[in-house]
Structure 1
């Protein structure tokens, strides 16, 4: 990053899946920082022990939807990497809460940057600000400029799209002290790797079926996936370049990508689960799509009926079925052209690291 003494970076959501990987990456790859502030509602105390005499890791408990909390965390910092987000497309939490965290939280970060004189902001967006859409239109090897019909009905993609728009519109605005705020946005495709909650859910679901994964989606459907370590590395490089070349990166969006193969979600997960003896059942979908869609509709109806008494949030609903059934792959070199990004980890290394983690789940699962 840009040279200077006493530089402070704030990572919002720093105890989350991506955030914790990012904190470790910053410690390894950003020698000029004096302090990394990890701002989160639920703190992982182990991160604090990673600090050194040169770089302090400071944990700050706070709510992203509280302007006062955010302002306190950002005071005296020069860079914010805003990863804090509430990911929910299953109805586990109310839509209003998703919007509060993702939109109001981002508004708070931007206002705190203005009031505290913070000059640089890297935002963690999502491919879902674009798609897949509910029409099932494929996004095949698309890039940041590819035209695509965007259509969402879930709070998560809608809120991420609104938050990203706010971040990009804030680029070039004046902050306290007469300085200029520079912002950019990174859009990961489906992130995977050690600690991924959805991968863990998929593992335990498959464990309950005796290690059999019943094919539900055609093998021809392809999704872009990206390893969490490479996403963290891209954030570090983008933060560094945003400070050095703000006129190039300011106001820009970048898809996160690496050399992970394009496969359906099920087939991609089997790259790791097969190491635990799991196997895919069926070379073609075992249930016709229209039956899956009816089941998804039934789940949505049950969710609505049961809402007053309990939270019913199955993995399958009309939105998740549309996403899983629609090809969405990215092919771009914009990040490489603008700030020299190349994946830090090869596919082979990403696969090995993820398998090592899944193996720990396997040992734990067999104990129970």
Structure 2
């Protein structure tokens, strides 16, 4: 096996490199890894300005491509030392056909694994999700759980199904012989609900409140706890895992790790509102049972309208189950196996995210209130 110190050119190939997590990963790699010579960002929707972040020692290359196109993945990953596979299609609102989710999340992962085999790339870190475990639609809590905690896994939505399949493929690929005779080493990271700068769901939560005239409807029990993790710390765990996978492959190979930091345990509603409080949204609390009926009505209406209209509201039975079920994890295993500690403490995570949220237009709220 070739170690990091022995290899001349260390090239990181990052799928989904221009996305939310990919951008945070790029920043952490540039700041914390002094052995890398090149970072290749592979994405369907590219941002060429990211190449301007190249330094004297690290070249940043942005390449447009589709993860479902095997030939593209093979071509662009040639010569890579490590693959960090973050590319994924997230949808829990029925906005994307199941076949498309399957193609991106499962077939795309197969393509990445086969590209590693074809190009002799020994190290693959996969970005999985807590949703490969839960929460399930039955509302079973998972409190301070770890990778060995027994849980009633019950997938109904295409997204968690696809992530579960993809993670299984990655773990089963560990130990596969590569062209040239080397061995593939893989591991998988399971972040809880990621937040931070450029987080689209937080922006969606804001825009939904704007459309309702500054009114936020709440109904999740105040005792509900979720584990949220800052994107920069998720990126840092990927960097540490990739580093350790190269230096001590047999310790991490074939393993899965929950990813969390020291962000406070709060419901999704409470967590988001602490950043959006400056907008003075009016909050109204309604019974959870009523929310459940609304979620069922939304699901029924989506099914009725499906032939003529795409009705995909944020609230459905699955998203309500996720929002109202306590789901928190521990990252002790990552700490034991590759010394993971959050790179950013809670104060830094909060301040970085808040500065971004403060750029949201206040005028939208004022206009919406006037209209109502």
Scaled to the shorter chain, the TM-score interval is over 0.9
Please, what is the CA RMSD of the aligned residues? Answer: 1.5
Where 2:37 maps in the other structure, the secondary structure is strand
| Post-superposition CA distance 1:231-289 (Å, at most 9, x none) | 001100110001001010001111111010111110010110113333544xxxx3332
Match for residue 100 of structure 1 among 99, 103, 112 = 103
Question: Distance in 2 between the 1:105 and 1:33 partners?
Answer: 25
Runs of 5+ unmatched residues, structure 1 = none
Match for residue 183 of structure 2 among 160, 180, 184 = 180
Question: Distance in 1 between the 2:358 and 2:314 partners?
Answer: 23
The answer to whether residue 28 in structure 2 is matched with residue 11 in structure 1 is no
Question: Distance in 2 between the 1:152 and 1:165 partners?
Answer: 14
Question: Distance in 1 between the 2:331 and 2:246 partners?
Answer: 23
Match for residue 257 of structure 2 among 254, 257, 260 = 254
Name 1:287's counterpart in structure 2. Answer: 286
Name 2:358's counterpart in structure 1. Answer: 359
Name 1:298's counterpart in structure 2. Answer: 297
Query: Which TM-score applies when normalising by structure 1?
Result: 0.96
Where 1:253 maps in the other structure, the secondary structure is strand
Query: Which TM-score applies when normalising by structure 2?
Result: 0.95
Describe the shift of the 1:270–1:123 C-alpha distance in structure 2 as closer, same or farther (beyond 3 A).
same
Question: Distance in 1 between the 2:256 and 2:361 partners?
Answer: 38
Match for residue 28 of structure 2 among 25, 30, 34 = 25
Question: Distance in 2 between the 1:362 and 1:176 partners?
Answer: 53
Where 2:63 maps in the other structure, the secondary structure is strand
Where 1:357 maps in the other structure, the secondary structure is helix
Describe the shift of the 1:367–1:18 C-alpha distance in structure 2 as closer, same or farther (beyond 3 A).
farther
Name 1:137's counterpart in structure 2. Answer: 140
How many residues are treated as equivalent by the alignment? 364
Where 1:69 maps in the other structure, the secondary structure is helix
Moved more, 203-212 or 126-135: 203-212
| Post-superposition CA distance 1:195-238 (Å, at most 9, x none) | 00000000111223343322221110111100001000110011
The answer to whether residue 57 in structure 2 is matched with residue 54 in structure 1 is yes
Match for residue 245 of structure 2 among 219, 242, 245 = 242
Match for residue 84 of structure 2 among 58, 81, 86 = 81
The answer to whether residue 203 in structure 2 is matched with residue 204 in structure 1 is no
Name 1:154's counterpart in structure 2. Answer: 157
Question: Distance in 2 between the 1:41 and 1:306 partners?
Answer: 30
Describe the shift of the 1:170–1:56 C-alpha distance in structure 2 as closer, same or farther (beyond 3 A).
same
1:5 shift after superposition: 2.1
Describe the shift of the 1:65–1:221 C-alpha distance in structure 2 as closer, same or farther (beyond 3 A).
same
